[in-house]
Chain A
Amino acid sequence: MALSTSILLTIALAPLVGCLLAGFLGRFIGRAGSHTATILGVAIACGLSFYVLYQLTAGGAPVYNQNIYTWFDIGNYSAHVGFLIDRLTAMMMVVVTFVSLLVHIYTIGYMADDDGYQRFFSYISLFTFSMLMLVMSNNFMQLFFGWEAVGLVSYLLIGFWYKRPTAIFANLKAFLVNRVGDFGFLLGIAGVLYFLGTLDYATAFSAAPTLVGKTLQITQNTHWDAATVICILLFIGAMGKSAQVPLHVWLPDSMEGPTPISALIHAATMVTAGIFMVARMSPIFELSETALSFVMIIGATGALFTGLIGIVQNDIKRVVAYSTLSQLGYMTVALGVSAYAGAVFHLMTHAFFKALLFLGAGSVIIAMHHEQDMRYMGGLRKYMPITWITMWVGSLALCGVPFFAGFYSKDAIIEAVGESHRWGANYAYFCVMAGAFVTALYTFRQMYLTFHGKERFVVVHDHGHGHGHDAHADHDEHHHVSHKDDHGHHEAGIMHETPKESPWVVTLPLILLAIPSIIVGAMAVQPMLFGEWFGSAIHVNEANNVLGEVGKEFHSWAAMALHGFTQLPFWLVAAAFAIQTYIYLFNPAVAERIKNALKPVYNMLNHKYWFDAVYYIVFARGGIALGRALWKGGDAAVIDGVLVNGSASLVDRIAGGMRRLQSGYLYHYAFAMILGLILLLGGYWLVGQ
């Protein structure tokens, strides 16, 4: 049965309605009303998205591609709002709405004590709407709309706790770094319009082969290949949104936002928009080997080097954040070797297990009363078994242990890179292979520090003797101190009650995410990677078909997993497991000794390769200094000082001089007359000579 427009509109708009209800009427409908409205909206979208996916796979529905309304229409150029629903889109819709729904439910528990409850629900529903508009788009204009709209919501959510200086620094940084990417993206779209004459996907993709041989004049004698320029510009957009080196710096800071959105936006969905976009644009990217090499090298660099930073982080969320950067690198490498299906497959499995890890980390943070430093955790497994087990599931999936979802997608990427002969593929292969080891290192370290080993916090029950009882004289000072502690309301390592498992609204999403983290890889690997599941949505040139090569050795999901046990990636993970088990369970002093022995390396990782420091000095400080110089030097000194006020004071001076001539004294005038007479006569006499 063909997909109906009204169903698709309902999917996109139901979350928007929820957002508006919670946002504008939140005060009237209350907390319960707000979360009911938004959850209902997203649940409708989620249910219908599953229906759409079902229709497209089992129901035999054809690909839907229609415009809803005309945004502008000028001559031959037009832009529309419209939907293109094929299997790639439908898969994204399911992932987005499913994770979003679970995050909505989880938020009931996580944000229970927050004043901005309704506002938070409104934002995450707005995000869901924006993300759906992005993935459902059938043209570049709407893609850009969704692209920037998710950026807006990300800005609002990172700065959700707007009193925190770090949060409002991070959200500005995130928005601006993303804008650097969007700058390239917009130029890429302009290039598409210039060379292909349309903003519509289907038309542009069918015209894409005409790009071959076309060039763009850069200077008098420099011409660049059109496809390469377009692809790199578009990819710069993806580098911003999907946090690729060197535009990755915003993502770790985005952890300032509440944990549910770290899971939804900064792990599972929004940051994968760049991956989705490149996969969607595969007919164009396939035309440029250069651009794909560029994509591959950027991705490989991120996969390994951002993962390394994760090893030295102490904040539980930051470990997961760097892990996300690294995994986004894996997806990007896959794009770069033309294994688009592999990238999208990893995007899907990653969405489940990474959302799980973030929400699990959030559950730990609730139990620890907003302590995020793993140095003050340890031994939590006996207090919160559901969180513990589900996070292990997520971790094993992340490490790519055979049979878990992450294994299928990650192993396929590593093998695909191994098959690639593209320029730089050897470097990429090294990075993704070493990255597997690094992933396991930080993941197991995180799990041990959090859930295993000794408890590194003490529980002090202090009912009865609170502040203010001690001495009335100290009242002011006490008041001051407790005010300052408002955010953390604890000292590091001191808990006022025993940690306990989170409520069901928190653990249920963990369980519901753990299930796909185990099974979805095995279920989907055959059709998605090696079958024709994506159909026409993804286009790969026969010569570049590395997944086809990998697929020749594929027999079944079970055989693939069993074979995985004999492969290098698995043994790297096992080695990392052994190392971390020894260090964190048996001999914690070793960690400190390694750190001291490798001080320079540790410093480099701890300073995140100094990216942030350099950017801050060059772009933030430098931009301000440049602005000040232009303002004081250009506008104030030259234009206003010399030209405007200068000419005004010139007029003033001339007028002042003229005025002195009109003194009113008769003898001045008489003198002037005589002088004039002499000059006149003298002049005549001179001329006469």
Chain B
Amino acid sequence: MFNHLLSLLIWLPVVGAIPVLLAGSGRPNAARWIALLVAIVTFVLSLYLLPQYNAGNAAKQLVEDHIWIAGLNVHYALAVDGISIALILLTTFVGILVIVGAWEVIQTNPHQYMAAMLVLEGLMIGVFCATDALLFYVFFEAMLIPMFILIGVWGGPRRVYATLKFFIYTFFGSIFMLVGLIYLYLKAGSFDLATLAALPLTLKEQSWLFFAFLIAFAVKVPMVPVHTWLPDAHVEAPTGGSVVLAAVMLKIGGYGFLRFSLPITPDAAEAYAWVVIGLSLIAVVYIGYIALVQEDMKKLVAYSSVAHMGFVTLGIFIAFMLVRGANNLDAAKLGMQGAMVQMISHGFVSGAMFSCIGVLYDRLHTRQIKDYGGVINVMPWFGFFYVLFAMANSGLPGTSGFVGEFQVVLASFQANPWIAFFAAFTLIIGAAYTLYMVKRVLWGDITNPHVAEMKDINGREWFVLGAFAAAVLALGIWPQPLIHLMDASVTQLVTQLGNHKI
């Protein structure tokens, strides 16, 4: 069974969606329980990755390789390293929580909702496992379909605009990647990522490819200025959709940079690192100010996601300046690790924030900050979680939100103190927009009489928020296990950065 563990992880949720669908709208509870069972089994199986994986070895492990399309030399090739495993665990963890979170919240066709979630989960795991570029691309694009359905069917009033914007935006980006992949295939005769990484390319070729990948992944992350689909998508998406979108899907953008831009176009990435670093810093400062004035909680957290993902791209690309400029491998590793930890942490924190907003929305059916105020008076337990996650979002030490940002700021200073200066600005602006929201939602006296009728979180919501809280605190108090898991892979990535292709 463990020979095909990765396949199992991908296809179990996808196939598991079939009985969920078959349960039909007539038996919603059966659909829910089957979906939960599938999600739990997937999570447990993903935990088996840890003992199976040798963290001391940087090589890709648990390899599966079959010819898929012989004529084009496309392989169904899967393998993982520490970074993939961390992201897969994040996916399966969040997978359970979105099913539990949607339990009685989704009343229209819950079986279809649950099935779409499971398919989405499987496809996202596929993205993190694929070592064949075309296979990656297929998962990367297929993933859009269930998300398109989730927003389009269970979304808010402007869901059609939001889904179209979301779909076309991301599709627009990935077309460029496809063109780039075809070019690479014509040169190398293979879609194997390792082969492509070894392929010699001139700086001109690399530059074209770099920007093709950049557009694809920048939309996904999203980076300024191609981020405007995210607030709209989040606002219209159902809670579970927002959670998956923020917690996992955005990470695929960051993951793409690691698997494509860095190994395939290292010299162009070095030449244009300043572009990405500049955009990342703009994300921290400019988006921070925009988040400050949002009146819709989901928009606020969506913008905050853009700002926090800025640390991911910053951490990845600062490594170029450190390796190639200063030959400072350790600092580059620090930045890269910071970016990876930030990805995982942002998965927990943003997922938790959106879950919190979902809890409020289920009670008052509004996301407008001004409709709330004084929630703590009637929902003390909710208040506890909300403040905890808000603090994590503000990067408080002891929560996961601190770890990655701390490492990226420390590494940035080594490249250029001004980069650290702008990155560290998140301490102020991040706390400002998050706690300003907390002030208006949670604290104060009750002004809206409907708030007075709100009930504190129930057991199911307690479970979801409690699980996120445990993850946020565990990672904040002791990040070393996660860092150790990814250490060999990050070391190898950073070492590769030094290899010139021209």
**Which one, B109-117, B147-155, B175-183, B395-403, is touching chain A?**
B395-403
Interface string of A42-83 (1 = CB under 8 A from B): 000000000000000000000000000111111111000000
Q: How far is the CA of A194 from the CA of B396 in the complex (A)?
A: 22
Q: How far is the CA of A624 from the CA of B435 in the complex (A)?
A: 14
B129 in the interface, Cβ–Cβ < 8 Å?
A: no
Taking the nearest CB of chain A, how far is it from the CB of B465, in angstroms?
14
Q: How far is the CA of A639 from the CA of B287 in the complex (A)?
A: 13
A148 in the interface, Cβ–Cβ < 8 Å?
A: yes
Residues of chain A within 8 A of B391, CB atoms compared: 152
* Contact between A194 and B228, CB atoms less than 8 A apart: no
Residues of chain A within 8 A of B2, CB atoms compared: none
* Contact between A75 and B435, CB atoms less than 8 A apart: no
A369 in the interface, Cβ–Cβ < 8 Å?
A: no
* Contact between A176 and B424, CB atoms less than 8 A apart: no
A175 in the interface, Cβ–Cβ < 8 Å?
A: yes
B414 in the interface, Cβ–Cβ < 8 Å?
A: yes
* Contact between B420 and A190, CB atoms less than 8 A apart: yes
Q: Which residues of A contact B (CB under 8 A)?
A: 69-77, 141, 144-145, 147-149, 152, 155-156, 159, 162-163, 165, 168-169, 172, 175-176, 179-180, 182-183, 186-187, 189-191, 193-194, 216, 218, 623-624, 626-628, 630-631, 634-635, 639-640, 643-644, 648
Sample (11) of A-B pairs whose CB atoms are under 8 Å apart:
A72-B483, A74-B337, A77-B331, A77-B334, A149-B397, A163-B377, A172-B435, A176-B431, A176-B435, A623-B289, A627-B292
* Contact between B225 and A623, CB atoms less than 8 A apart: no
B487 in the interface, Cβ–Cβ < 8 Å?
A: yes
Residues of chain B within 8 A of A194, CB atoms compared: 413-414
Q: How far is the CA of A631 from the CA of B300 in the complex (A)?
A: 12
Residues of chain B within 8 A of A175, CB atoms compared: 431, 435
Known: A168-B444, A639-B225. A624 touches B376 (CB 8 A): no
Known: A74-B483, A631-B294, A634-B286. 19 other contacts (CB 8 A): A72-B407, A74-B407, A77-B331, A145-B397, A148-B398, A149-B397, A163-B377, A168-B443, A176-B432, A176-B435, A186-B406, A186-B427, A190-B409, A190-B420, A193-B413, A627-B291, A635-B290, A639-B225, A644-B165
Taking the nearest CB of chain A, how far is it from the CB of B416, in angstroms?
8
Q: Which of A175, A183, A627, A628 has its CB near the most chain B CB atoms (within 10 A)?
A: A627
CB contact between A640 and one of B228, B403, B444, B487 (< 8 Å): that residue: B228
CB contact between A183 and one of B228, B396, B424, B480 (< 8 Å): that residue: B424
B160 in the interface, Cβ–Cβ < 8 Å?
A: no
Taking the nearest CB of chain B, how far is it from the CB of A9, in angstroms?
14
Q: How far is the CA of A216 from the CA of B337 in the complex (A)?
A: 25
Q: How far is the CA of A554 from the CA of B479 in the complex (A)?
A: 52
Taking the nearest CB of chain B, how far is it from the CB of A162, in angstroms?
4
Taking the nearest CB of chain A, how far is it from the CB of B476, in angstroms?
9
Q: How far is the CA of A162 from the CA of B373 in the complex (A)?
A: 11
B75 in the interface, Cβ–Cβ < 8 Å?
A: no
Chain A residue with minimal CB distance to B338? A74
CB contact between B420 and one of A187, A628, A643, A644 (< 8 Å): that residue: A187
* Contact between A76 and B427, CB atoms less than 8 A apart: no
Known: A73-B483, A216-B417, A643-B225. A172 touches B436 (CB 8 A): yes
* Contact between A152 and B396, CB atoms less than 8 A apart: yes
Chain A residue with minimal CB distance to B232? A640
* Contact between B403 and A72, CB atoms less than 8 A apart: yes
Taking the nearest CB of chain A, how far is it from the CB of B245, in angstroms?
18
Chain B residue with minimal CB distance to A78? B480
B333 in the interface, Cβ–Cβ < 8 Å?
A: yes
Q: How far is the CA of A69 from the CA of B477 in the complex (A)?
A: 10
* Contact between B428 and A624, CB atoms less than 8 A apart: no
Known: A176-B428, A627-B290. A187 touches B413 (CB 8 A): yes
Known: A179-B431, A186-B409. A168 touches B377 (CB 8 A): no
* Contact between A162 and B376, CB atoms less than 8 A apart: yes
Taking the nearest CB of chain A, how far is it from the CB of B56, in angstroms?
14
* Contact between A168 and B403, CB atoms less than 8 A apart: no
Known: A640-B228, A644-B228. A183 touches B487 (CB 8 A): no
* Contact between A74 and B286, CB atoms less than 8 A apart: no
B478 in the interface, Cβ–Cβ < 8 Å?
A: yes
The DSSP consensus for interface residues of chain A is helix
Q: Which of B168, B424, B487 has its CB near the most chain A CB atoms (within 10 A)?
A: B424
Chain B residue with minimal CB distance to A224? B417
Q: How far is the CA of A639 from the CA of B442 in the complex (A)?
A: 33
* Contact between B289 and A626, CB atoms less than 8 A apart: yes
Q: How far is the CA of A147 from the CA of B334 in the complex (A)?
A: 23
The DSSP consensus for interface residues of chain B is helix
* Contact between B398 and A75, CB atoms less than 8 A apart: no
* Contact between A145 and B398, CB atoms less than 8 A apart: yes
Q: Which residues of B contact A (CB under 8 A)?
A: 165, 168-169, 225, 228-229, 286, 289-294, 329-331, 333-334, 337, 374, 376-377, 387, 391, 396-398, 402-403, 406-407, 409-410, 412-414, 417, 420-421, 424-425, 427-428, 431-432, 435-436, 439, 442-445, 478-480, 483-484, 487, 491
* Contact between A162 and B428, CB atoms less than 8 A apart: no
* Contact between B425 and A141, CB atoms less than 8 A apart: no
Taking the nearest CB of chain A, how far is it from the CB of B105, in angstroms?
27
Known: A70-B480, A172-B435. A190 touches B410 (CB 8 A): yes
* Contact between A183 and B432, CB atoms less than 8 A apart: no
Residues of chain B within 8 A of A216, CB atoms compared: 417
Q: How far is the CA of A74 from the CA of B291 in the complex (A)?
A: 33
Residues of chain A within 8 A of B442, CB atoms compared: 162
Q: How far is the CA of A73 from the CA of B410 in the complex (A)?
A: 14
Q: How far is the CA of A628 from the CA of B425 in the complex (A)?
A: 19
Residues of chain B within 8 A of A77, CB atoms compared: 330-331, 334, 410
* Contact between A74 and B487, CB atoms less than 8 A apart: yes
Chain A residue with minimal CB distance to B445? A163
* Contact between B330 and A73, CB atoms less than 8 A apart: no
Taking the nearest CB of chain B, how far is it from the CB of A155, in angstroms?
8
Taking the nearest CB of chain A, how far is it from the CB of B306, in angstroms?
10
Chain A residue with minimal CB distance to B332? A75
Q: How far is the CA of A243 from the CA of B143 in the complex (A)?
A: 51
CB contact between B424 and one of A75, A186, A627, A648 (< 8 Å): that residue: A186
Residues of chain B within 8 A of A168, CB atoms compared: 439, 443-444
Q: How far is the CA of A147 from the CA of B398 in the complex (A)?
A: 11
* Contact between A182 and B427, CB atoms less than 8 A apart: yes
* Contact between B228 and A74, CB atoms less than 8 A apart: no
Q: How far is the CA of A604 from the CA of B294 in the complex (A)?
A: 36
* Contact between B286 and A630, CB atoms less than 8 A apart: yes
Residues of chain B within 8 A of A159, CB atoms compared: 443
Chain A residue with minimal CB distance to B482? A72
Chain A residue with minimal CB distance to B165? A644
Q: How far is the CA of A628 from the CA of B406 in the complex (A)?
A: 29
* Contact between B396 and A630, CB atoms less than 8 A apart: no
* Contact between A148 and B397, CB atoms less than 8 A apart: yes
Residues of chain B within 8 A of A623, CB atoms compared: 289, 292, 432
Taking the nearest CB of chain A, how far is it from the CB of B375, in angstroms?
10
Residues of chain B within 8 A of A624, CB atoms compared: 292-293
Residues of chain B within 8 A of A643, CB atoms compared: 225
* Contact between A635 and B333, CB atoms less than 8 A apart: no
Q: How far is the CA of A626 from the CA of B403 in the complex (A)?
A: 29
Taking the nearest CB of chain A, how far is it from the CB of B433, in angstroms?
8
Q: Which of B377, B398, B417, B436 has its CB near the most chain A CB atoms (within 10 A)?
A: B417
Q: How far is the CA of A73 from the CA of B491 in the complex (A)?
A: 12
* Contact between B424 and A165, CB atoms less than 8 A apart: no
Residues of chain A within 8 A of B396, CB atoms compared: 148-149, 152
Residues of chain B within 8 A of A169, CB atoms compared: 439
Q: Which of B396, B414, B427, B436 has its CB near the most chain A CB atoms (within 10 A)?
A: B427
Chain B residue with minimal CB distance to A76? B330
Q: How far is the CA of A155 from the CA of B387 in the complex (A)?
A: 11
Q: Which of B168, B292, B377 has its CB near the most chain A CB atoms (within 10 A)?
A: B292
Taking the nearest CB of chain B, how far is it from the CB of A595, in angstroms?
36
* Contact between A627 and B483, CB atoms less than 8 A apart: no
Known: A75-B329, A144-B397. A191 touches B417 (CB 8 A): yes
* Contact between A72 and B428, CB atoms less than 8 A apart: no
Residues of chain A within 8 A of B169, CB atoms compared: 644
Q: How far is the CA of A141 from the CA of B398 in the complex (A)?
A: 11
